[in-house]
Amino acid sequence: MKVINEVTGILNLLYTHGWDERNGGNLSYILEEEEVKSVCDPNVVLRTFEYDFDMTSIIGKFFIITGTGTYFKNMVAAPEVNLGIIKIIDKSHAALVWGYSEGGRPTSESPTHLQCHIERLKQDPNHRLVIHCHATNVICMTHVCPLDSNFFTEKLWKMQTESIVVFPEGVAVLPWILCGGTQIGIETANLMKEYRSVIWAQHGIFCTGKTLDEVFGLIETIEKAAEIYMKVYDKKIYQSITNENLIEIAQAFKIDYRHGIID
């Protein structure tokens, strides 16, 4: 049950940071079979779910995934009601092996989650995690900034020294698109070829990576930079981080940052 405690712990932190009001946000995390065995019998199929895109490359993988309509604030108290463990059993079906004990089903954003996993695994075989949340200041920025990935990346890099170190590839931005379906998943996963973080205008952010700490830290860092931006952008700024400063940071920390924005 260690993995359940780790996942519910992160979901609780996302809630207490104010980024997952009501049922906002969702998480999916690739589990090793041994981790699944510590929770349930991985071969007992409780129910199945159908998807309308090709999941061939992730057949056999297990995911712990938040249920649709569930509240992050309730995860610690009732994980088996609010979370499920699914196994991808063929090109278009997933089997539930644990959880959703009161009849729930995977998040409405599971098409995006699963398509992002498919894409990120091509980029990084150690990839395991996708978190979507409604980070407040990231959403604020999408109301007042041009919806351009390089614009967001440059502003976020220049708000604080840590940004370019934590997300050297930058952030991608999508315009408002109806959420909860396969199409927004296709668009998001397409950007995940180059980015670990994709912002949905007037909605929130999807962040991906290897571990719970890494992805939570990525969200924290992007949201912190967005908070600083929202506090200063309409004030007279006397000094800020320059292009030369950013290049100096990248050289000092051996950071392979996205080119074409500050140089």
List, by residue number, the catalytic residues.
109
Hey, which bits of the chain come out as E strands? 26-31, 47-50, 62-66, 83-90, 93-99, 129-133, 172-174, 197-200, 204-209
CB of 101 to ligand 13P, least distance (A): 17
Q: Which residues in 126-145 contact ligand 13P (CB under 6 A)?
A: 132
CB 216 within 8 A of CB 13: yes
CB of 107 to ligand 13P, least distance (A): 3
Q: Is beta strand 47-50 parallel, antiparallel or unpaired with respect to 197-200?
A: unpaired
| 24 touches ligand 13P (CB under 6 A) | yes
Nearer to ligand 13P, 22 or 37 (CB): 22
Q: What residues does 197 pair with on adjacent strands? A: 207
46: closest CA among 7, 2, 85? 85
Q: How far apart are CA 171 and CA 115, in angstroms?
A: 18
- Total residues at the site for ligand 13P (CB under 6 A)? 12
Q: Is beta strand 62-66 parallel, antiparallel or unpaired with respect to 47-50?
A: unpaired
From 31-39, 62-70, 119-127, 137-145, span contacting ligand 13P (CB under 6 A): 62-70
| 108 touches ligand 13P (CB under 6 A) | yes
| 69 touches ligand 13P (CB under 6 A) | yes
Q: Which of 36, 82, 86, 109 binds ligand 13P (CB under 6 A)?
A: 109
From 41-49, 64-72, 142-150, 202-210, span contacting Zn ion (CB under 5 A): 202-210
CB of 141 to ligand 13P, least distance (A): 18
Say if residue 236 is exposed, middle or buried (CB neighbours under 10 Å; 0-12, 13-18, 19+): exposed
Nearer to Zn ion, 31 or 135 (CB): 135
C-alpha 188: how far from chain center: 11
- Ramachandran angles phi, psi of 65, nearest 5°: -145, 135
Nearer to ligand 13P, 23 or 163 (CB): 23
Q: Angle 62-65-69 (CA atoms, 0-180°, nearest 5)?
A: 155
CB of 132 to Zn ion, least distance (A): 6
| 74 touches ligand 13P (CB under 6 A) | no
Q: Which of 8, 28, 82, 107 binds ligand 13P (CB under 6 A)?
A: 107
What b/e string do you get for 201-227 counting C-beta neighbours within 10 Å, with b at 16 or more? bebbbbbbbeebeebbebbbbbbbbbb
**Partner from ligand 13P, Zn ion, none binding residue 76, C-beta < 5-8 Å depending on class:** none
Which spans of this chain sit near Zn ion (rule: CB under 5 A)?
204
Which spans of this chain sit near ligand 13P (rule: CB under 6 A)?
23-26, 66, 68-69, 107-109, 132, 179
